[in-house]
Structure 1
Amino acid sequence: MTQTAPTAETTLVPTPNADSLPRRLADFDTFADAIDYAAQGNRGLNFHDPRGKLTRVYTYAELREDALAMARRLVAAGIKPGDRVALIAETGTEFAALFCGAVYAGAWPVPLPLPTSFGGKESYIDQLAVQLQSSDPTVLFYPAEIAAMTEAAAQRQGCQGIDWNSFGEREAPEVALPRLSPDDICYLQYSSGSTRFPHGVAVTHRALVSNLASHSHGMCLAENDRCISWLPWYHDMGLVGCFLSLIANQVSGDYLKTEDFARRPLAWLDLISRNEGDSISYSPTFGYDICARRISSQSNVSERFDLSRWRLAGNGADMIRPDVMQGFVDAFAGAGFKANAFTPSYGLAEATLAVTIMPPGEGIRVELVEEERLSGTPRDLSRPARYRAIVNCGKAVKDMEVVIRGEDGHELPDHHIGKVWCQGPSVMHSYFRDPEATEACLVDGWLDTGDMGYMVDGYLFIVGRAKDMIIINGKNHWPQDIEWAVEQLPGFHQGDIAAFAVQAENGEEVPAVLVHCRVSDPVERVKLHDQIRDKVRSITGMNCVVELVPPRTLPRTSSGKLSRAKAKKLYLSGEIEPYQLAA
């Protein structure tokens, strides 16, 4: 792979915002065509170290050259169209070249997560192994730094593991590359929280370029726009919105690695401040919260930051909290940040990415809705009404249709809460090798998102999470995964655990776990409580609420399945009484 390593005498010059190449908003037949076109201009990707120093400039022309070489290496190694090529999604040139190379080769790249700072080696190996089992790749590529863990996962699944640096040193012989079709699968996308029950979303070239064109149209993409991102490339918002979209819409981008943002979040705002054009940058709510908290000890933000050219401050990937957004405005108004830069949006991997986007400049708009109306329970007139602020997530992107349906499947009028359904060319092809799950959510071309919401004058308001999904700090956690982890501890059986999200005293959501307890000794109960807490933390990265409850307490449906929704309701109402632990 071509490298342009800086020397003491070299000053790296980032790729430009503007370009003489006429911009095309992802109007291509395939993503490979998009790479070919972007390579004709001067824009590209720019990678920065933890302090925000530019360390690597990677033009789209160089990306295309490296990707084609990778494609030839893949074909020479026996990779065929339709084969899955698993890639550890480290933010950098190696992943970018291999992802695009797999696309050129007609294979399906499968981005998989890097290890996090919690959970430990074995938890990461387990997570990789399960996703490898689901995607059934021919090969797994990884950075040398985590070779031991990735090789262990690959061996468990029986697929080949290759250090991508050594692969990049192989000969790239001249071989015939396949002719791609818009209806070919382009890649597989896994939910970041899906471990025991993974769903690989199969996205076609047609679906991808359609969504990239639609959300760029919705953002009113301008010539001088530039993207700044720290989002991980295994998550749909990071991969599609902040990597693939930049190529297909010919936008330059600046990147911090996700782990570097976690250590130095204000480096993200430094990059935005240095952009001489208009900035587009997305984050889940917690990213804005971290920055506002970190800056609280600094007296004069205007001396360090200039956020006046931050045109679109996107919000997505989790429920948007207006109080956190206001805290960010309060913290950075002195640096020129404008509240109307906030751009709420709604999307999911099953729709490739974007479903709705708030029109630029409209900012965050909320409606106050009675909590009883949100939960569908009758109003208790003896108590004062409690309201929740519901954020407007914008209008459907171009070529996407969004409706709200009731339990009977019929479309509901404005202001009526129901299931969010969407239809358009960017809806997924299927869940990989899971026809039952595909059939459950795709009905006559319409996608059942599983989320609850309502419409008002063409704007979508999201009021609830997809089914039982737990979303903490922008990361999805399937409750089955948490329950399964606890079940691995001695003495537990399937159905002994119910996991869901609850709101902590500070307003943030945390995972809660109710566990059937058959231990009577008070000291042993405390030990069990701590053991469960540590196990769940290894999965979620957060401390959680652990409640030990009497056996046969957790409710079940008429078919005998655990009812998490009812368990949560009974717990919050006090009808499930946990054991009191000894001090």
Structure 2
Amino acid sequence: MTEANPTILHALEAAGRGPEGFNFHSGKGVLVETASYAGLAHDARALAAKLLGAGVAPGDRVALIADTEGDFVRLFFACAYAGAVPAPMPLPMAFGGRETYLAHTRKMMECADASAAFAPAAMKDWLIEGAEGLPLRLVGVIGDLEAVEPDPRPLPTPDPDALAYLQFSSGSTRFPKGVSVTHRALMANATGISRDGLKTRAGDRCVSWLPFYHDMGLVGFMLSPIVAGLSVDYLATRDFARRPLLWLDMIARARATISYSPSFGFELAAQRAQTVDLGALDLSSWRCAGIGGDMIRPHVLRRFAERFRPNGFDARAYVASYGMAEATLALSFAPLDQGLKTETVDLDRLESENLAAAPTAGTEREREFVLCGPALPDHEIECRSPDGAALPERRVGRVFARGPSLLRDYFREPEATAETITPDGWLDTGDLGYLTGGELVITGRAKDLILVNGRNVWPQDLEWTVEAEVAGMRSGDVAVFSVDRDENEEVVALVQCRTKDETARDALAEEISKVLRLKFGTPVTVRLVGAHALPVTSSGKLSRARAREMYLAMVSTAA
């Protein structure tokens, strides 16, 4: 937070003194809407008076189905000007059912105790159905506010310690939790991202396909650019999934300098580019190619850099980072202009001793990790042992963080808050990792860790091994987890299979089982599922927890 701009509304007003703003593009890359920051502020203030006139009170929560369009941004800031709390909510998943989506969204509205809910015009009927019976004053679309008489009183004065928004975790399903983020925390993080992490400067321009309902899209590419006074060109997430090279084309056409993606976005673009003539695509303007939102896969990023080097992409542009919604967004950034910084460790010692040791001459199993940089200024990161003691460098432990960007609480969830935030203000991230030279290395999620014969095994190691060594496997085709079976831990691999030929299916399952047994010394139950069957979170990451539920349901049905 800065003294000049203590809230995101102050930042929007300041950004409105310049020509910058948001540009929304169609699925063909055509510009369909331009919204200057000055225009957004003007429209949002007018809508705020209508929200108040409709009975939405300061402090009320407002659910917003977050499509990539100007109306979502207007409603988000209208809530803020009215003193209400916007709660962005996801769009339906590509392969999810209507009933499941509506149940999920309803739970989030209940968790937020929302007083109003808005959706894109095409989803109005879905929203009305999902909100049926809930005590909402308004359910509809932005156009429904046209007939509302605005409240004539002055808009509330923004309070830095009031909630700026509620962010629901991308993995929230059965029991969603709303992350409460204050204006003070938001401004601290957005300022740290732009000033210290990406070191934004005059002439920078952003391109994003990341969804507004995820922290990296909302904070990283909607709110932080306002704080930095930068323009952003948007492509909807669904359109990126259909045409990933359009993302790169937009970067080239806009001469954009900053764009982020999880590893799978870079992988998808590189795969699609194998069979496409890229013509005069020029990526030489891209100075910050950020990676975040999932485990960083260095071999994927090297393939991308190699594929697009003839098009001007410089691998030194890669910026590894680490963060989460509970920290508003970012906690660490790797130094700029250095590209990926990695180190290779002895996997046996990592699994058996929780030690990130360099391989020796006799090392047979290795693992490469990406360094995600030091903590943002005014923030601290520690890796701790199970008894809570801070560990020395290169010892793997649970990652804790502290600083001005942390959530206030989980909204109306005091027990969950107490489990996550220590009395002295440290956030338990739920991740495992280690520090080296002051930089953070993430090794996995604590809840996903598998215990095999006294060794701590990371599921992504098994997943990536299958994808790398079994012909026909693609990224995201494998979910590995463990289940309790007869007082033992059973390791299970759910694998997407695209053939119905029984002989081929049996051979695939046997090959996967053999590869994992040889590499990791443990039997693995391999279960084949259909294409696109593995569950993912709203941000596109594989959900091992839901894959585990899926497997248990399959086993129960078979029994």
TM-score range, shorter chain: 0.7 to 0.9
CA distance 1:252–1:357, shift in 2 (3 Å): same
Deviations 1:463-508 (A, max 9, x none): 11253399xxxxxxxxxxxxxxxxxxxxxxxxxxxxx765052144
Which among 111, 119, 126 is matched to residue 149 of structure 1? 126
Matching of residue 40 in structure 1 with residue 25 in structure 2: no
- Residue 463 of structure 1 pairs with residue 431 of structure 2: no
Residue 453 of structure 2 corresponds to which residue in structure 1? none
CA distance in 2, matches of 1:544, 1:171: 45
SS across alignment from 1:215 = helix
1:450 deviates by: 1.3
Give the drift of 1:148: 2.2
1:447 aligns with 2:427: yes
The answer to whether the 8 A contact 1:119-1:539 is kept is no
C-alpha contact (below 8 Å) 1:282/1:315 kept by paired residues: yes
Deviation digits for residues 328-380 of structure 1 (CA, Å, limit 9, x no counterpart):
0111000000001000000000100000001110110111112233334599x
Q: Report which stretch shifted further, 67-76 or 168-177.
A: 168-177
Instruction: Give runs of aligned pairs for residues 146-295 of structure 1, distance below 5 A.
Output: 146-159=123-136, 160-168=138-146, 170-217=148-195, 218-276=197-255, 278-295=256-273
Residue 322 (1) aligns with residue 285 (2): no
**Match among 393, 409, 427 for residue 406 of structure 2:** 427
Of 205-214 and 369-378, the range deviating more from structure 2: 369-378
* 2: CA distance, partners of 1:374 / 1:267: 40
Distance 2:3 2:442 in 1: 28
Query: 5+ unaligned residues in a row in structure 2: which ranges?
Result: 451-458, 469-474, 487-501, 507-525
Structure 1 stretches of 5 or more lacking a match?
1-23, 471-499, 549-553, 555-561, 569-577
Instruction: Report how far residue 384 of structure 1 moved.
Output: 5.3
Query: CA distance change for structure 1 residues 516 and 220 in 2, over 3 Å: closer, same or farther?
Result: closer
Alignment partner of 1:132 is 2:132 = no
Residues 535 and 543, structure 2, Cα contact 8 Å, conserved in 1 = no
Pairwise CA distance, 1:132: 1.2
Residues 361 and 314 of structure 1: CA distance in aligned 2, closer, same or farther (over 3 Å): same
For residue 366 of structure 1, what is the aligned residue in structure 2?
342
Distance 1:245 1:545, change over 3 A: closer
Partner of 2:84: 107
Show the counterpart of 1:493. none
Residue 475 of structure 1 corresponds to: none
Contact kept? 1:25, 1:249, Cα under 8 Å: no
Residues 295-326 of structure 1, C-alpha deviation per residue, up to 9 Å, x if partnerless? 01135x3x231001100000000000011001
Q: Which moved more, 1:145-154 or 1:434-443?
A: 145-154
Partner of 1:506: 467
Given that 2:294 and 2:541 are in contact with CA atoms closer than 8 Å, whether structure 1 keeps it comes out as no
- Would you say the 8 A contact 2:180–2:409 is kept in 1? yes
| Structure 2 Cα separation of the partners of residues 329 and 531 of structure 1 | 33
One-letter amino acid matched to 1:364: L
**In 1, Cα distance between equivalents of 2:15 and 2:293:** 28
Contact 2:398 2:446 in 1 (8 A): no
Q: 1:150 to 1:532 in 2, by over 3 A?
A: farther
Residues 45-86 of structure 1, C-alpha deviations (whole Å, 9 max, x = no match): 011111111111110010001110111011111111111000
- Local SS of the residue matching 2:373: strand
User: How far apart in 1 are the matches of 2:369 and 2:68?
Assistant: 34
Count residues with an aligned counterpart.
490
One-letter identity of the residue aligned with 2:90: P
- 1:469 and 1:185 map into 2 onto residues whose CA distance is 34
Name which of structure 1's ranges 408-417 and 72-81 shifts more when overlaid on structure 2.
Answer: 408-417
Q: Where does residue 351 of structure 1 map in the other structure?
A: 327
Is the 8 Å Cα contact of residues 9 and 80 (structure 2) preserved in structure 1?
Answer: yes
Give me the whole-angstrom Cα distance separating, in 2, the residues matched to 1:534 and 1:27.
Answer: 52
Cα deviation code 1:80-105 (max 9, x no counterpart): 11110000001111000000110111
Instruction: Write the distance in 2 (CA, Å) between the matches of 1:144 and 1:311.
Output: 37
- C-alpha deviation, 1:174, in angstroms: 2.8
RMSD of aligned residue pairs (Cα, Å): 3.4
Distance 1:103 1:535, change over 3 A: same
* Aligned AA (1:162): G
TM-score, length of structure 2 as denominator length? 0.81
Q: Tell me by how many angstroms 1:168 deviates.
A: 4.5
In the alignment, is the contact (CA less than 8 A) between 2:54 and 2:149 conserved in 1?
A: no
Q: Deviations over 1:102-145 (max 9, x none)?
A: 01111110000011221111111111111112111001101121
User: Alpha carbons of 1:255 and 1:545: their partners in 2 closer, same or farther (altered >3 Å)?
Assistant: closer
Give SS of 1:138's match: strand
Report the alpha carbon displacement of residue 397 of structure 1 after superposing the two structures with TM.
1.3
- If the length of structure 1 is used for normalisation, what is the TM-score? 0.78
